[in-house]
Amino acid sequence: MRPAYSIVLFTTASGAGYGMLAWLGILGAAGLLPMAPPFGLAAFALAVALVGTGLIASTFHLGHRERAWRAFSQWRSSWLSREGVAAVATFVPVALYGGGWVLLGRTQGPWAVAGLATAGMALLTVYCTSMIYGSLKTVPAWHNGWVSPAYLILSLASGGVLLSAVAALTAEAPPELTRLTLLALAAGLAVKAGYWRHIDRPDDASTAETATGLGRIGAVRALLSPHTADNWVLREMGYRVARRHAGTLRRIAVILGFALPLAALGVTLAVAGFTGALTFAAAVSLGAGFAVERWLFFAEARHVVTLFYGEQRT
């Protein structure tokens, strides 16, 4: 699929923002985060800004942006609509929880309930985002059991790194947050490795034989192309990234998105000093790495319709 930069920005920015909200809700309710007003204000402001930026970016690729509101009416059947409803609904507990934290300095009692609701709605929204792609049977690289776990764990990993950076720069990063973020990064790397192995397996690919049901006869090839010129289907759904380039980009994603943040955060636990600089560097590196990872998520996926245009497998 052709990677639209607006969708790459949407999935990475909103995923990080919702990940921050999830950690704020869970760890704040447990009393494991600093209650310093600068930290609370900066953390909620950054999380909401990332979510808002992602949601706005998600409309950039629409042909008729003025009709975007109609997506909310199809929540019974559309994961896109469910995501929109969940995204808007999340702002209710966020406002209650953030207000109690920043204005009153309280995260316990009813505010803890609002915090847990914030975390639950944030993760639900990320899950709905993942299912927009995971529900598409016509894109084999997306229709598998790796996509939703990857979206959820990468959201928590990116949110944890950003929250650690905010804590280190405004108060003090609690070791519990750092350890959980390291765990999320390691789990995210494992899930992505599993996902890449899965989509590289030739036995799980759709082919011209499986698409036509004529595989029992022999190899299938097209005598004539459906079109004699380039068209929208080929531009949008037949986008190709060379295997050699994909391998290089995967390594870049692993180094920038996982290895360097893991090393930087690990050092902050072992060595005192330079915590702010290291966590900030980890956040910048992770942002670049996750952008590459998400671009690949779209670029390496092809719609089965391309089999009728001469592709041998998807």
pLDDT digits (tens, 9 = 90+) for 82-121: 999 999 999 999 999 999 999 988 889 999 999 999 999 9
**Run of H or E including 167:** helix 147-170
Can you give the pLDDT at residue 313? 65
Listed in sequence order, the residues at least 6 apart from 289 whose beta carbon sits closer than 8 Å to its beta carbon are: 252, 253, 254, 255, 256, 257, 258, 260, 261
**Which domains occur in the chain, in start order?**
5-309 (1.20.1630.10)
Q: How far apart are CA 201 and CA 161, in angstroms?
A: 32
User: Is 214 or 248 the better-scoring residue by pLDDT?
Assistant: 248
State the average pLDDT over residues 261-265.
Answer: 96
- Comparison of pLDDT for 68 and 23, the residue scoring more: 23
Residue 285 in this model has a pLDDT that exceeds 80: yes
Q: What is the predicted pLDDT for the residue at 66?
A: 65
pLDDT at 186: 98
Q: In the prediction, which pLDDT does 2 show?
A: 79
Distance CA 312, CA 222 (A): 10
d(CA 125, CA 145): 18
Q: Cα–Cα distance between 9 and 73 in angstroms, integer?
A: 25
Region of 273 on the Ramachandran plot (φ > 0 left; ψ -120 to 50 alpha; else beta): left
Of 51, 3, 271, residue with least CA distance to 158: 51
Work out the end-to-end distance of the chain between its first and last CA atoms, rounded to an integer number of angstroms: 11
Smallest Cα–Cα separation from 305: which of 211, 172, 167? 211
What pLDDT does residue 162 have? 97
Tens-place pLDDT, residues 163-178: 999 999 988 888 999 9
Tens digit of each residue's pLDDT (9 = 90 or more) over 40-81: 999 999 999 999 999 888 888 766 666 667 777 888 888 989
Give the list of residues 6+ apart from residue 85 with CB closer than 8 angstroms, or none: 72, 75
pLDDT at 245 over 90: no
CA distance 278 to 94: 29
Residue 204, pLDDT > 70, answer no
How far apart (Å, rounded) are the C-alpha atoms in residues 289 and 251? 9
Structure tokens at 115: 């915090």
